[in-house]
Structure 1
Amino acid sequence: MILKRKTVLIAAGAVLAMTAGVATTTVHQHENEHDAGSASGLELTYDADFSNDANLAGEAEDLFYGKVTVLKGRKDLGIGAETQYAVVVERVFKGDVAGTIVVNQQGGKDADGNIVDLPDGDALLQVGGRYLFATKYNPDQKFNTVIPVYGDVPIPNMEAGAPGSPDADGDGQSTISDRWVAAVRDQNDLSTAPSTDEPTEEPADDPTPEASPTEGS
């Protein structure tokens, strides 16, 4: 699936309070470690095919492996439902996340329990599941929003074999972990897309001006 060139604004609303009966989770906030973003949402610019690991790594501000521990809240942020989860970071491939952070996902469930507003090809995160996360950080809301579809890949064991992937750590075995180490190493810079301006066409020869009529002729 190739995501065409366009800009998508994903609203980033406040994280809802924990529901009754659920233990409080300490959240690591790293707002001072990222550049400021937009006040109302998180901007994702789709200029590439994010099924390509190097493109996904290049777009992500934080690329990490972690376990979903708690459903923190659901909210319609004005452009559709979004859902927030607490995630324990277990390994970081890119960025500076650590501890337990809030991960926000586009999509959620309505009052009847139906899944709504979920991008095609994506699935809601599951509490207890482990994922490879590719995210963009929102400093106003203090959470990381996953890049839809390719930014939340379920991976039970990061050290499982991955035939065809590079042996990034040189231990003689190619693992899923090696795959993402290599993706960050070879990441593509998507912030400098080539210009799409079309050249201005100029006539090959200047037209020959017509002679002015002579007075009195």
Structure 2
Amino acid sequence: MEMDSAFDVTDPQQLAGWADAVFVGTVIEQVGTKAVGPFPETQFSVEVLQTLKGDVAGQILVNQQGGYGTDGTLYLLDDDPLIEPGATYLMSAGFLPSENWYTVAPRAGKVTLSAEEVAAVSDGTARRSTDEPAPVATMRDAIDNEIPFDPNRESEPVSSEPPVPPR
């Protein structure tokens, strides 16, 4: 399934402006699947390691568009793979109060962090320093210069290729 976004998800400043929360989190486990719209969405328990934007801490419920349908077919939005238990990501997510979960933006809303990057974030010494992982530093700068989300703004066509974060 192809994505039609109301903003350019590949622009970190627009992504930061859309997101209610930006954080580094480790996926604990998949906890559910629910069809909120035309295809399944998958929910995960995530342990927040560091918050860059918003008011998230501890274990939260993260939703991703896509998942397995009742017939066992895997549906992915714009070929965006499901997040994986045990992996740690930099996540940009919007809060859905009716479900009490944070939905990650497709593709650019989750950036996998390496073990070294997770260690730098986890020990707390990398905040705003040269040791901070590049994806986290890039998003922190984007938050400082975010472009507020405007659902009426015309968006540029978005490439199907996921952005490659600087390393």
**Equivalent position of 1:119 in the other structure:** 77
2:77 is paired with a residue whose SS is: coil
Alignment partners' CA distance in 1, 2:103 and 2:17: 15
Alignment partners' CA distance in 1, 2:151 and 2:70: 43
2:99 is paired with a residue whose SS is: coil
**In 2 relative to 1, CA 190–106 (structure 1 residues): closer, same or farther, beyond 3 Å?**
same
Higher relative contact order (CA 8 A, sep 6+): 2
Matched, 1:185 2:165: no
Among residues 175, 182, 189, which one is paired with 2:133 in the alignment?
A: 175
TM-score (norm 1): 0.59
Structure 1 or 2: more helix by fraction = 2
1:54 is paired with a residue whose SS is: helix
**In 2 relative to 1, CA 145–172 (structure 1 residues): closer, same or farther, beyond 3 Å?**
closer
Residue 191 of structure 1: CA displacement?
2.6
**4+ residue runs over 2 A deviation:** 75-78, 110-114, 156-161, 171-177, 190-195
**Equivalent position of 1:84 in the other structure:** 43
Query: Do the aligned residues in 2 keep the contact of 1:63 with 1:135 (CA within 8 Å)?
Result: yes
Residue 82 of structure 1: CA displacement?
0.9
Alignment partners' CA distance in 2, 1:192 and 1:81: 24
Query: Do the aligned residues in 2 keep the contact of 1:168 with 1:181 (CA within 8 Å)?
Result: no
Matched, 1:136 2:94: yes
Query: Do the aligned residues in 1 keep the contact of 2:23 with 2:51 (CA within 8 Å)?
Result: yes
Q: Percent identity?
A: 32
**Equivalent position of 2:163 in the other structure:** none
* Alignment deviations for residues 68-109 of structure 1 (CA, whole Å, 9 cap, x no partner): 001101123341111110000001110001100001111102
Among residues 63, 81, 97, which one is paired with 2:22 in the alignment?
A: 63
Q: Which runs of structure 2 are paired with 1:133-172 in the superposition (5 Å)?
A: 133-157=91-115, 158=117, 169=128, 171-172=129-130
Residue 159 of structure 1: CA displacement?
6.0
| Unmatched segments (≥5 aa) in structure 2 | 121-125, 155-167
Amino acid in structure 2 at the alignment position of 1:62: A
Query: Do the aligned residues in 1 keep the contact of 2:88 with 2:113 (CA within 8 Å)?
Result: yes
**Equivalent position of 2:66 in the other structure:** 107
Looking at CA atoms only, which structure, 1 or 2, has the larger radius of gyration? 1
Q: How many pairs align?
A: 145
Query: Do the aligned residues in 2 keep the contact of 1:58 with 1:189 (CA within 8 Å)?
Result: yes
Alignment partners' CA distance in 1, 2:132 and 2:34: 40
* Alignment deviations for residues 14-34 of structure 1 (CA, whole Å, 9 cap, x no partner): xxxxxxxxxxxxxxxxxxxxx
